[in-house]
Structure 1
Amino acid sequence: MTTGSVPKPLAGWRVLVPRGGPWGDSVAADLRAVGASPVVAAMINFAPAADASALERALHRLAAGEFDWVTITSATTVDVLSASRAVVPPRTRIAAVGETTAAALTAASYKMDLVPAEDNSAHGLLAEWEAATQGQVPLRILTLRSDIAKPLLTEGLRRIGHDVDSVVAYRTIGVTVPESVVADVRQGLVQAILVTSGSVAEQVQLQLGPIPESTLVAAIGPRTARDARDCGLRVDVVAEERTAAALIQAVVAVAASRVG
């Protein structure tokens, strides 16, 4: 006797993936594995920092051992380090804001000394900083960030008493999505939209809004959810962890509840 195969949890769902490149390809593959049809439409891209000389000087000082710590807040920053062939001396420690960034550092052959155990965010990193550094103050710290990132980490470290240099590593720019994608979203032909950052949320609201009530808007973490709501974008579900896997699982859970 043969039995029918069990339907995959996102069978029949079209899910908008708002970033291209290797990340988008990986997420698209994971979505297909659970039955979804991914719609990859990059809504943001990254460009060199407007003041490239400031970054060059900072990386030169980093290689010279002038910093005790360097903080990395995104996988894109890791890409910048790799492209610049940045050297991090053995005595300089590296702090990553979350697991995704830590994985990118490892893949790029950079050591990683600190990643928040609970909250993958600037707040989480600050909460664990004193214990990780045994209360040493002041430390010389280089924070590398996007041009639009809020300086939460830099300001928090300075409040503790550290000597912090904050340098823009790259710019985040919006990308116009195809008109066919806009039409599909507005007609309710896309069942879920993945929101992976505040900048993505802004582009979703700007280019695709108003989002139909039937379309699930899923945010990758509480910080992204707050940023999305601040720019007027509705958020229906928030991933428990700031990872692509957790984001997909959040969508799967909602789909299962609708079937049940």
Structure 2
Amino acid sequence: MSEPVLARRRIILTRPREQAEALADRLRAAGAVVFIHPAIAIAPAADRSALDAALTRLAGYDFAAFVSGNAVAYALQNVIELPPALICLAPGPGTAQALRDRGAARVLAPREQFDSEGLLALPELQAVAGRRVVIFRGDGGREQLAETLRARGAEVELVSCYRRVAPLEEMPALARRLLEDQPDAALITSSEGLDKLLASLSDAAVAALKALPIFVPHARIAAHARASGCARVITTAGADAGLYEGLEHYFREPLTHV
């Protein structure tokens, strides 16, 4: 009986730890050796006043967009029940499921392109003049969703509910992992996360990271990784399933990716 494709492959996950565990478990079940070294840590917003004010007005919005699972977790951690008429917007299936788990009755999400562009292509978001939209996000998030909805005539409010910080305490262990443990691949799920790694690791560790196959879930992140000097960048489908399938396909036929 042949060995599973991912058996003994040493894979670095750089997501925040609480988001990495499900994929890590699946990879370990396939025989991979998984190391979790977050490039970004998620913390509550430094000032909750705007968030608390928006939550008191939830019933007054037509749409509430949540840019990620983190936005769902941090925006709704003290919300007992969402207004039944509120239409929640999610950029992908993971965020959509997180909203349903919190009791959201009406959730819209793209079926194919899991990002702001996919969300903006939904028929329900084409004629939004005069509609009220709140976008829950982290500090310094992308502006495209808000700008496009405003251009279509919507009244848009941006609310920060979490912030991203560099977990500097993780960097020495990650550097040792890169230099001593001969990993086979790294998964990087945001351009900001890659930037934090490149800024925080030693020169030798950065060189080792850039030489690895880097798996990313979006073409935008792939372009950023290549521009940052990563030599082998593999774009997968989104969510955990897409990353897993991308790894499996790559290690089944690595020569096709050279």
Task: Normalising by structure 1, report the TM-score.
Answer: 0.88
Q: Does 1:49 align with 2:45?
A: yes
Q: Which residue is equivalent to 1:24?
A: 20
Which residue identity is paired with 2:247?
A: V
Deviations 1:105-162 (A, max 9, x none): 122222343101221100111111xx21572422011011110211110011011111
Q: Which runs of 5+ in 1 are unaligned?
A: none
Following superposition, which runs of at least 4 residues in structure 1 exceed 6 angstroms of deviation?
Answer: none
Q: Which residue is equivalent to 1:160?
A: 152
Distance 1:14 1:35, change over 3 A: same
Q: Which residue is equivalent to 1:248?
A: 244
Q: Which residue is equivalent to 1:117?
A: 111
Q: Which residue is equivalent to 2:216?
A: 219
> Given that residues 187 and 212 in structure 1 are in contact (C-alpha distance below 8 angstroms), is that contact kept between their aligned partners in structure 2?
no
Question: Pick from 37, 53, 61: which aligns with 2:33?
Answer: 37
Q: Which residue is equivalent to 1:72?
A: 66
Tell me, in whole angstroms, the C-alpha distance in 2 between the residues paired with 1:93 and 1:73. 14
Which residue identity is paired with 2:174?
A: V
Tell me, in whole angstroms, the C-alpha distance in 1 between the residues paired with 2:232 and 2:138. 24
Which residue identity is paired with 1:198?
A: S
- Paired residue secondary structure (1:119): coil
Q: Which residue is equivalent to 1:191?
A: 184
- Paired residue secondary structure (1:210): helix
Distance 1:13 1:159, change over 3 A: same
> Given that residues 225 and 235 in structure 1 are in contact (C-alpha distance below 8 angstroms), is that contact kept between their aligned partners in structure 2?
no
Once superposed, what is the RMSD of the aligned Cα atoms?
2.2
Which residue identity is paired with 2:139?
A: D
Q: Which residue is equivalent to 1:174?
A: 166
Tell me, in whole angstroms, the C-alpha distance in 2 between the residues paired with 1:102 and 1:229. 30
Distance 1:234 1:56, change over 3 A: farther
- Paired residue secondary structure (1:90): coil
Equivalenced residue count is 251
- Paired residue secondary structure (1:109): coil
Tell me, in whole angstroms, the C-alpha distance in 2 between the residues paired with 1:87 and 1:74. 19
Q: Does 1:94 align with 2:91?
A: no
Tell me, in whole angstroms, the C-alpha distance in 2 between the residues paired with 1:192 and 1:248. 12
Which residue identity is paired with 2:23?
A: V
Shift of residue 19, structure 1, vs aligned partner: 2.8
- Paired residue secondary structure (2:19): helix
- Paired residue secondary structure (2:108): coil
- Paired residue secondary structure (1:209): helix
Q: Percent identity?
A: 26
The residue correspondences of 1:1-12 to structure 2 (distance < 5 A) are 5-12=1-8
Shift of residue 229, structure 1, vs aligned partner: 3.9
Which residue identity is paired with 2:207?
A: P
Q: Which residue is equivalent to 2:76?
A: 82
Tell me, in whole angstroms, the C-alpha distance in 2 between the residues paired with 1:259 and 1:157. 43
Question: Pick from 11, 15, 40: which aligns with 1:15?
Answer: 11
- Paired residue secondary structure (1:211): helix
Task: Normalising by structure 2, report the TM-score.
Answer: 0.88
Q: Which residue is equivalent to 1:238?
A: 235
Shift of residue 80, structure 1, vs aligned partner: 1.2
Deviations 1:21-73 (A, max 9, x none): 442221111111222100011221111212310111111111xx221111111
Tell me, in whole angstroms, the C-alpha distance in 2 between the residues paired with 1:101 and 1:29. 19
- Paired residue secondary structure (2:208): coil
Shift of residue 188, structure 1, vs aligned partner: 6.5
